[in-house]
Each structure stands twice: as structure tokens, then as C-alpha cells.
Amino acid sequence: MSFDPLGRFALLVAAVPDSLNIPLTMLLVFGLAKLLAELFEKIHQPGIVGEILAGILLGPSILNWLQPTDFLTALADLGVMFLLFRVGLEVKSSELMKVGAPAALAATLGVIVPFVLGYVILTLWGAPTVEALFAGAAMVATSVGITAQVLSSRGVLWHTASQLILAAAVIDDILGLLILALVSSMAKGQVNVLELLLTSILAIGFTVLVAKWGTRTMGRFVPGIEKRLRSGEVQFNIAMVLLFALSLLAMRAGVAAIIGAFLAGMALSETVNHRVHDLAHGVTELLVPFFLVGIGLHFDLAAFSDSSTIGLALIILGAAIASKLVGCGLGALSLGWSNALRVGVGMVPRGEVGMVVAQIGLGLGVIPKPVYGVVVFMAIVTTMVAPPLLNIAYRGVQPVAPAEEFRLG
């Protein structure tokens, strides 16, 4: 009789009482993520790649110890919200506004090029029109959480290219969600032009309003509120209320919650003390591994049992990387070739955004499982290749620690 320790452990995990599921799940995810992150750092590779690989190892493709659950999804959503909030704390709205024009151009071209390329590839592959449109939509939106994590850990958020990436990612998110809304409407057989127009106005208006006047407003209100409150960490409590409030308002306005979280951090960047930065960093360190491992958990090797699917996956992957490099890079070319390369690379990861689009298409019955697997493969691999590419693109750029950025501000 053969001895299979991994199989035995998987059975033990499955047999754990419900009351122990949460601590066991958190131990497996956090522990393995940090272990692999440490190993990758030892070989001079970005630690977040190791954390994504931890999800692939734990998930259905290899060990099958964990499956994506509502609990893990909730922790992942919180993780990426706090990540973008922390990044926002290190960014001044005045600096972000300076790169508004090239960011808008980079974002627009970075949406058009991958969308058209994805549509053309799936059409040539023989897919129906709606399926091809969904594939194009899945290639559009950037997962700014991955890029933000790399830029923050390298201490280069101060750089012009980094500011442009963050601004372009906000615009990219708005455009991507509008394209998703349009494609979803077409899949359902009806397009409400008025609703799409109102959503566009609301999303853009909300983002511009908070980005332009949020810092000034918080500078007036936070000191007054702080004087009246005494319980606990007052500034951090105010920051948390603003984080969740703007995340909720962002979703109501038609953009992602993480955009609201980023804007909340940016609105407070010139008002709160360094204690808030430290506390936000601690929460982020706890929750971000669940976001990264969650990406890996969705990888399924079973989708690639057919050689034609493997070929399509490789073509889509190449197109996904090239389209952002070319589209976003051309939009940022006015800042020079090196910055254009940094912006192009920074916009490459699709992460959870691409997978969400694929899940919507699968739920509507317009994307078959092989194409869903291809899109998830593209989302995960672009997320994994972005950190090492960013390390190369930012080689020679002097880092500034977040604490030092705060003092300089």
C-alpha cells in the first residue's frame, strides 16, 4: 500500500471541524505565502510572485488543500482595499494631477489596443462575436494592486512614471468597467445608452471631485474632529471611516471599491500623522497575502487538456503583455522612452480584474470553460511576470522609504 502524505494531509484538512476552519485556513494561506515570499526574496525575485505561487500550490491544480471561498474572497477584497489605501497615503493629489494628460492618453490607448487585439484573436479562433468581445474586455483593465505593491516595496512611488501609472490605472478602471457594462448589456440582448452615459458621468465626476478637493477638505475637517474625539487611535479611526465610506461610494458611482480606497488614502496623505501610516501598513501586511494567494487559487490546469487551448492561451498571454506595453507606452512617450517602458510594464498585470470579467461571461453563458481557463491563465501569468519586469524597468532609480517620503512631504 503506497503512502501519500500530501493526500493524507488533504483529508485531514477536509475533516477539520467548522470551528477550526478559519484559523487553519489563515495559517495555511498566510504561513505558506510568507514562506515562499521569503524564499523568492532570497533569490532576488519579488516576494509577491512567491505569494501567488502559494495559492497555486494550495489550490485545486496541485495540492487541492483549499478552494476559493466567500471567506477568502472577503479577506482578499479587504487586502487589496488596504493596499490601495496605503499607497494613496504616500501619494499627493497635486503630484498626481500633474501627469493627468499623459495618464489619460496612456489609459485610453491601454484600453483600446488590448480590447481590439483580444476581440480579433478570438474571432480568428472561430469564437462568436459576444464571446470575442468578453475576451477583449477581460484584457482591458489593469490590476493596479500588484503594481502598487511592487512600487511601494521598492520605494519608487515618488517617481514620475509611478505617479503616471497610478493616475492611468484610475482612468483605466473607469474605462474598463464601462466596456464591461457595454459588453454585458450586449450579451443580454439590450443596450441602455442612457444608463451607460449616466454611469460614465457619475464615475468620472466622483473620481475628479475626490482627487481634486479631497485633500483640502480633509485638511480642514480632520483636525477639528480629532479635537472632539478621545477614544482610541482617533486619526486612524477617522481614516478607516473615510476608507470604507469612499469605497462604498465608488461602487455606487460605478467604479471599483479599490479606487475609492486609493482616493481616501490620497485625501488624507497630507493631513494624518505617521502613526496612521504605520497602522495601515500593519493591517496591509496581514491581509495582502490573502489577495495574492486568492489569485493563485483560481488557476486550474484541467482547463489546458487540449493542445488548441494551450496555443490560444499562449497567444492571448503574448497579446496581453504586448498590448499594454505598446498602448500605455505610446501614451507616455512624451516623458521619454525609459518612462514609457516603466508605464507600459506597470499596466501589464490583469490579476483579479480579468478573472472577474471572465466569471461574468461564464455566468451569462457566453464564455465556454476553455476560454474561461485561458482568461484566468492570462490574468495570473501577467500578474506574475509584472514584478520582475518592473524590477528591470526601475533599475537605477533611487528608492525613498515611505517614512522618508512622509517627512519630505
pLDDT digits (tens, 9 = 90+) for 185-235: 777 777 677 777 777 788 888 888 888 898 888 988 888 888 888 777 899
Q: Which residues contact 283 (CB under 8 A, 6 or more apart)?
A: 82
Exposed e or buried b for every residue in 159-185, given b needs 16+ CB within 10 A? Answer: bbbbbbbbbbbbbbbbbbbbbbbbbbe
DSSP code string of 281-318: HHHHHHHHHHHHHHHHHT--GGGG-SHHHHHHHHHHHH
Q: Is 111 buried (19+), middle (13-18) or exposed (0-12) by CB count in 10 A?
A: buried
Contacts of residues 301-306 at CB distance under 8 Å and 24 or more positions apart, as own/partner, are: 301/61, 302/60, 302/61, 302/373, 303/369, 303/370, 303/372, 303/373, 303/374, 303/376, 303/377, 304/373, 304/377, 306/370
CB atoms within 10 A of CB 278: 12
Element (H, E) at 368: none
Residue 182's Cα: distance from chain center in Å?
21
pLDDT at 13 over 60: no
pLDDT at 163 over 80: yes
Instruction: Report the alpha-carbon distance of residue 238 to residue 163 in Å, rounded.
Output: 26
DSSP code string of 94-151: HHHHHTHHHHHHHHHHHHHHHHHHHHHHHHHTT--HHHHHHHHHHTT---HHHHHHHH
Contact 79, 288 (CB under 8 A): yes
Instruction: Provide the pLDDT for residue 121.
Output: 95
Instruction: Report the alpha-carbon distance of residue 200 to residue 197 in Å, rounded.
Output: 5
pLDDT at 43 over 90: no
Range list of H helices, 229-273: 234-253, 257-268
Instruction: Report the alpha-carbon distance of residue 203 to residue 256 in Å, rounded.
Output: 10
What Rg value do the Cα atoms of the chain yield, rounded? 21
Instruction: Provide the pLDDT for residue 408.
Output: 37
Most confident of 119-123, 367-371, 399-403: 119-123
- From the list 39, 23, 10, the residue with the least C-alpha distance to 75 is 23
Contact 156, 390 (CB under 8 A): no
DSSP 8-state symbol, 397: P
CB atoms within 10 A of CB 112: 15
Instruction: Provide the pLDDT for residue 206.
Output: 86
Higher pLDDT, 77 or 17: 77
Instruction: Provide the pLDDT for residue 346.
Output: 93
In the block, which residue shows the cell 498571454?
A: 317
Instruction: Provide the pLDDT for residue 403.
Output: 46
Instruction: Provide the pLDDT for residue 16.
Output: 54
Q: Which residues contact 327 (CB under 8 A, 6 or more apart)?
A: 106, 109, 110, 111, 112, 113, 114, 344
Higher pLDDT, 21 or 274: 274
pTM over 0.75: yes
pLDDT at 48 over 50: yes
CB atoms within 10 A of CB 239: 25
Q: Is 44 buried (19+), middle (13-18) or exposed (0-12) by CB count in 10 A?
A: exposed
The CATH-assigned architecture of domain 5-408 is: Up-down Bundle (1.20)
* Banded model confidence at residue 404, pLDDT cuts 50, 70, 90: very low
Instruction: Provide the pLDDT for residue 20.
Output: 60
Average pLDDT, the chain: 84
pLDDT at 370 over 90: no
Which bin fits 159, alpha (ψ -120 to 50), beta or left (φ > 0)? beta
Tell me, what amino acid is at 344? G
Higher pLDDT, 317 or 179: 317
* Banded model confidence at residue 318, pLDDT cuts 50, 70, 90: very high
Higher pLDDT, 330 or 19: 330
Contact 385, 321 (CB under 8 A): yes
Higher pLDDT, 306 or 137: 137
CB atoms within 10 A of CB 248: 12
